[in-house]
């Protein structure tokens, strides 16, 4: 085994576990037949689901924190529900999307460094991300401070704007929790330590439900009590993850605080910003769908029906986000370990798996198409619109399971900047104008808007599939080695030849 501690062929006890190998383990052999394909498919599927299962559960628990607070706010009062809903979806949702995007740069860097055996760099990368996300939080805090005028500007009522603005001020601690949580989540995720995140999120959710009931309803503190509990829940996740990291369970990945965290920050900012743009363009795209529906003639019915559909889609996307996290880890780890064939096959497996999961969800939706609309609304007109939108929703369930998985491939390989340009073209230059044309000019209403914007998503997904198919994975593995050395500050080993 290579004794050079900086070599990408290093194998560590931290890296060889849970089906993950680095360095001295060879790349997967070429697939020579159908039986060989299914054997390898089963092996890779096991690795993917080992990561995806806890990731899905973690996303569900953390997503439920806001949903629980919103549910209790509905029992406090109508204005309280509206205030929290607007703050959580507009101000909080906007900030959350940016912070997740900025933090996702670590998925590329930590994943590839871990795969290459350069485990000691993970802690430094995480600290750099803390610095950048903390500064980002200081910038985003203005959205919380000036939430009331911002909400008035976009057309919210004065009463709701003032109530939401007050709630936004109370939720500033949550913003800074995001800044520390997301880098730690990516740090642990790169090492396949996702199960501990699931445990922490489960305990947090149980405590959150109890204390939300106690403070908001039993003690009668209302939204103020809800803000206290929600902030405390997110900081509990941060502190619990930090204690786990510094307790020695991550080995060489955490060796303490380092001044190196303040070096090479500009390059880190550029990759973080590209990641944020890529993910935010995807998140805001479907937010725009509901916004455009508000300008239709029968806006209330259209918005209610779309809200039901997007809620169902949002729940289903939790599965897709699990695949997103899993394949990001698999691709980044295997590229870092110079295993291009394994990385490529991971892409094949996650694409096929996410497709069949989407088809299964779509079939279930179609089977219960007559029953499920009544679960969300008693209004017969809304139910009829939802029923009419079911074929589109079913198609979305399939496409929106594949697309996040392919985005995870892009993050694992470090393609964020290129994908951001593709998202702009497919979503905002093609999808949005087509949706507006079909919805308003062709008078197809909400169905036309959705068809147009869904077409943009389909085009983007097909482009991602084509990119993955045409990618030279050997070259990507070489680029990963170059990227690891660039970000770690290591010099190339004398006499070593790299092909790019």
Nearest partner of 170 among 241, 234, 236, judged by Cα: 234
CB-CB contact of 466 with 440 (8 Å): no
Percent composition of the chain: helix, strand, coil (DSSP 3-state, to 5):
80, 0, 20
The model's pLDDT over 244-301, given as tens digits with 9 standing for 90+, comes to 999 988 888 898 888 887 877 777 777 778 777 877 777 777 667 766 776 777 766 7
277 and 245, same domain (yes or no): no
**Residue 498: inside a domain, yes or no?**
no
133 and 244, same domain (yes or no): yes
Which domain does 244 fall in, by range? 47-263
Running DSSP on this structure, what letter comes out for residue 29? P
**Residue 171: inside a domain, yes or no?**
yes
350 and 439, same domain (yes or no): yes
Domain boundary among 226, 242, 263: 263
275 and 195, same domain (yes or no): no
79 and 120, same domain (yes or no): yes
Domain boundary among 233, 263, 293: 263
57 and 147, same domain (yes or no): yes
Over range 324-339, report the average pLDDT. Answer: 90
Say how many CA atoms lie within 13 Å of 458 toward its Cβ. Answer: 12
356 and 487, same domain (yes or no): yes
Nearest partner of 113 among 187, 26, 4, 25, judged by Cα: 187
411 and 427, same domain (yes or no): yes
Q: What phi, psi does 375 have (nearest 5°)?
A: -70, -20
378 and 347, same domain (yes or no): yes
**Residue 17: inside a domain, yes or no?**
no
pLDDT at 389 > cutoff 60: yes
On average, the pLDDT of the chain sits at 84
Give the Å distances, CA to CA, from 218 to 31, 42, 145, 187, 210: 62, 51, 30, 39, 10
Q: What is the pTM of this model?
A: 0.79
Number of domains comprising the chain: 2
Domain boundary among 236, 263, 290: 263
**Residue 19: inside a domain, yes or no?**
no
What integer pLDDT is reported at residue 291 of this predicted model? 66
The model's pLDDT over 406-441, given as tens digits with 9 standing for 90+, comes to 988 988 888 888 888 898 999 999 998 999 999 889
Residue 469 pLDDT class (50, 70, 90 cuts): very high
pLDDT at 25 > cutoff 60: no
**Residue 60: inside a domain, yes or no?**
yes
């Amino acid at each position: 085994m290579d004794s050079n501690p900086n070599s990408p062929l290093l194998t560590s006890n931290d890296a060889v576990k849970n089906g993950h190998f680095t360095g001295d383990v060879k790349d997967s052999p070429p697939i020579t037949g159908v039986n060989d394909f299914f054997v390898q498919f089963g092996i890779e599927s096991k690795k993917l689901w080992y990561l995806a299962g806890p990731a899905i559960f973690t996303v569900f628990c953390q997503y439920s924190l806001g949903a629980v607070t919103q549910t209790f706010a509905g029992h406090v009062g109508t204005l309280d529900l509206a205030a929290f809903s607007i703050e959580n979806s507009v101000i909080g949702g906007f900030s959350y999307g940016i912070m997740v995007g900025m933090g996702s740069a670590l998925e590329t860097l930590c994943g590839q460094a871990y795969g290459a055996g350069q485990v000691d760099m993970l802690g430094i990368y995480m600290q750099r991300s803390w610095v950048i996300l903390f500064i980002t939080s200081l910038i985003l805090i203005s959205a919380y401070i000036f939430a009331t005028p911002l909400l008035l500007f976009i057309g919210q009522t004065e009463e709701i704007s003032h109530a939401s603005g007050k709630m936004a001020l109370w939720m500033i601690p949550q913003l800074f929790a995001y800044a520390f949580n997301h880098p730690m989540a990516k740090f642990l995720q790169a090492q396949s330590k996702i199960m501990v995140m699931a445990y922490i999120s489960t305990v947090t959710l149980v405590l959150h439900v109890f204390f939300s009931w106690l403070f908001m309803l039993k003690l009668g503190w209302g939204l103020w009590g809800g803000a206290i509990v929600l902030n405390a829940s997110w900081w509990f996740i941060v502190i619990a993850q930090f204690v786990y990291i510094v307790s020695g369970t991550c080995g060489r990945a955490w060796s303490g605080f380092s001044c190196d965290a303040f070096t090479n920050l500009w390059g880190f900012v550029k990759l973080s910003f590209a990641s944020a743009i890529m993910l935010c363009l995807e998140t805001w795209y479907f937010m725009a769908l509901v916004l455009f529906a508000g300008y239709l003639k029968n806006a209330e019915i259209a918005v209610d029906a779309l809200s039901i559909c997007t809620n169902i889609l949002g729940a289903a996307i939790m599965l897709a986000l699990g695949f997103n996290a899993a394949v990001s880890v698999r691709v980044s780890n295997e590229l870092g370990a110079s295993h291009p064939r394994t990385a490529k096959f991971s892409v094949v497996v996650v694409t096929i798996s996410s497709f069949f999961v989407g088809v299964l969800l779509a079939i279930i939706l179609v089977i219960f198409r007559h029953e499920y609309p009544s679960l969300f609304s008693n209004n017969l007109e809304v139910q009829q619109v939802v029923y009419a939108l079911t074929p589109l929703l079913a198609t979305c369930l399939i496409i929106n399971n594949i697309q996040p998985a392919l985005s995870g491939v892009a993050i694992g390989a470090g393609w964020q900047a290129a994908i951001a340009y593709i998202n702009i073209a497919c979503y905002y230059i093609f999808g949005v104008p087509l949706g507006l044309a079909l919805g308003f000019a062709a008078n197809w209403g909400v169905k036309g808007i959705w068809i147009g914007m869904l077409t943009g998503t389909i085009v983007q997904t097909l482009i991602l599939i084509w990119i993955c198919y045409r990618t030279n994975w050997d070259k990507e593995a070489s680029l990963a080695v170059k990227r690891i050395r660039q970000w770690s500050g290591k010099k190339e080993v004398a006499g070593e030849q790299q092909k790019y």
